[in-house]
Amino acid sequence: MPKGYLVSIYSAIHDEEKLAAYAKLAKPALESFGGNFIIRGMPAMVKENGVMNRTVVCEFPSLDVAKTAVESPAYAEALVALDGAAERDMRIVEGV
């Protein structure tokens, strides 16, 4: 079964403290569904039309598990803590 991935690209961060509060809640919420953070940070290099933005990739056992994780009450609590502190493009993608 293909894995599921949460991919999040941060285009702007407005409040580092709120982002840290979000991360403190989001990490265990997603890990409780088998999420494994495989990328978290700034790119080492960007090419073509790439932008030097914070990138996060979390791998899940399946696409369905990834969807369930981001719709969970624990993750919703993390989003409340984020409270507009960042602008990001978040996607749930099935692996190959």
What percent of the chain has pLDDT above 70?
100
Structure confidence at residue 14 (pLDDT): 97
Structure confidence at residue 6 (pLDDT): 98
Q: Write out pLDDT tens, residues 2-46.
A: 999 999 999 999 999 999 999 999 999 999 999 999 999 999 999
Q: Write out pLDDT tens, residues 79-91.
A: 999 999 999 999 9
Question: What does the alpha-carbon distance between residue 47 and residue 77 come to, in Å, rounded to a whole number?
Answer: 35
Question: What does the alpha-carbon distance between residue 62 and residue 65 come to, in Å, rounded to a whole number?
Answer: 5
DSSP lists the bridge partners of residue 10 as 88
Domain boundaries, the chain: 4-94
Q: Write out pLDDT tens, residues 41-96.
A: 999 999 999 999 999 999 999 999 999 999 999 999 999 999 999 999 999 999 99
* E runs forming strands in the chain: 4-13, 36-41, 55-60, 86-94
Name 41's Cβ contacts closer than 8 Å, sequence gap at least 6.
54, 55
Confidence of residue 1 (pLDDT cuts 50, 70, 90): confident
Domain 4-94 has CATH 3.30.70.100: yes
Question: What does the alpha-carbon distance between residue 55 and residue 8 come to, in Å, rounded to a whole number?
Answer: 6
